[in-house]
Amino acid sequence: MLRTSERNHRPETTVETTTPLDATMNARRIELGLSWDEIAAKAGVSTAFLREYRKGRKGARDLTRALLEDALKWKRGSLDALAAGGQPEPADEIPTIGELLVQHGVATEDELTDLEDHRDAKVMEVLAADDMTPQAAADFLKLYMLLRRKAFGRA
């Protein structure tokens, strides 16, 4: 039998507090106009994992943190900076492959597919090489486009 004090005592309710990581990620998600499902899909993680990570209940490997930073359009190391009490840095916006193809005269807007709506920092590194001529850049981009289309069954 419960004592009177035990019967009148209400169980404590658990109030989930927002972590600084969660608050900052949420603000960025809203700024980008994305849902948590979209962020998770872009990073290749489940929404359940993402929620646990944001709340500080799960850690993430280096690759997963990098993919989350990409999804949130933050520079690499931003999640580590947040964990250390700092702030994330927005990633430099790089053009899509489609924008590069049009810019270099390889394709027109009408010829682009959804595969070219992709940003690739490594492609930008190749194009920035000192010995990259305009013709070599156009040839490289055309081959890259054809390779992606073949790899994804759109050739």
Least confident of 18-22, 64-68, 117-121, 137-141: 117-121
- Structure-token match 């994330």, residue found: 88
pLDDT number for residue 1: 53
**Cα 21 from chain centroid (whole Å):** 15
**Considering the entire predicted model, what is its pTM?**
0.56
Q: Cα 144 to the chain's mean position, in Å?
A: 22
Query: Which of the pair, 149 or 18, is modelled with greater confidence?
Result: 149
* Confidence at residue 16, expressed as pLDDT on a 0 to 100 scale: 57
- Please say whether the structural domain 20-83 has been given the CATH code 3.40.50.300: no
Top-confidence residue, 2 or 53: 53
pLDDT tens column, 52-69: 999 999 999 999 999 999
DSSP-derived secondary structure for the chain: ---HHHHSPPPPPPPPPPPHHHHHHHHHHHHHT--HHHHHHHHT--HHHHHHHHTTSS---HHHHHHHHHHTTB-TTHHHHHHTT----BPPP---HHHHHHHTTS--GGG--GGGS---HHHHHHHT-TT--HHHHHHHHHHHHHHHHHHTT--
Who wins on pLDDT, 4 or 111?
111
Contact 122, 99 (CB under 8 A): no
In the predicted model, what is the mean pLDDT of residues 16-33? 89
pLDDT at 5 over 80: no
Domain ranges of the chain: 20-83, 97-151
